[in-house]
Amino acid sequence: MRSPQLFMVLLGATPKGRNIEQHDIFFGIGTSIKDLLPEMLAFWPEAKDKIHVDAYRIVNKVGDYKVEVVVKGEEVKEDTTSLFFLNLGGYKQGEFEELHYKMLVVANQKALAIKEAKETAFYKHTGFKGATSHIDDKFGVDVDDIFEIKDILSAQTKSKYTLKFSSGSDLLEDELILGYIPISKLR
- Asked if the model's pLDDT at residue 143 lies above 70, the reply is no
Q: Tell me, yes or no, whether 89 and 162 share the same domain.
A: yes
What are the DSSP calls for 140-176, one per residue? S--GGGEEEHHHHS-HHHHHHEEEEEEE-SSPPPPPE
Are 80 and 161 members of one domain? yes
Write down the pLDDT at residue 37.
94
Average pLDDT, the chain: 87
Torsion angle of the four alpha carbons 8, 58, 175, 164, in this order, in degrees rounded to the nearest 10: 110
Maximum average pLDDT range among 65-69, 71-75, 167-171: 65-69
Taking residues 117-121, report their average pLDDT.
82
Which residues, at least 6 apart from 137, have a Cβ–Cβ distance to it below 8 Å?
A: 145
Q: How far is CA 83 from the centre of its chain?
A: 10
Pick the closest to residue 88 from 131, 61, 120, 62 (CA basis): 120
40 plus 10 within the same structural domain: yes
Specify whether 87 is located in the same domain as 131: yes
Of 4-13, 101-110, 116-125, the range with the highest mean pLDDT is: 4-13
pLDDT classification of 177: cutoffs 50, 70, 90: very high
Cβ-proximal residues to 94 (8 Å cutoff; 6+ apart), any chain: none
- Taking residues 76-82, what's their average pLDDT? 78
Q: What is the CATH number of the domain that holds 27?
A: 3.10.20.10
> Is 177 found in the same domain as 139?
no
Residue 79's domain comprises 62-170
Residues 93 and 156 in one domain: yes
Give the pLDDT score at 154. 95
Is the model more confident about 6 or about 132? 6
- Check whether 152 has a pLDDT greater than 80: yes
Its pTM stands at 0.89
- Is residue 37 domain-shared with residue 106, that is, in the same domain? no
| Dist CA 6 CA 28 (whole Å) | 6
Same domain, 16 and 94: no
15 and 66: one domain? no
State mean pLDDT over 69-81. Answer: 80
Percentage of residues in the chain having pLDDT higher than 70: 91
Over residues 27-62, the pLDDT tens digits come to: 999 999 999 999 999 999 988 778 999 999 999 999
Task: Please indicate, yes or no, whether residues 180 and 91 belong to a single structural domain of this protein.
Answer: no
Nearest partner of 7 among 78, 48, 67, judged by Cα: 67
82 and 5 in one domain? Answer: no
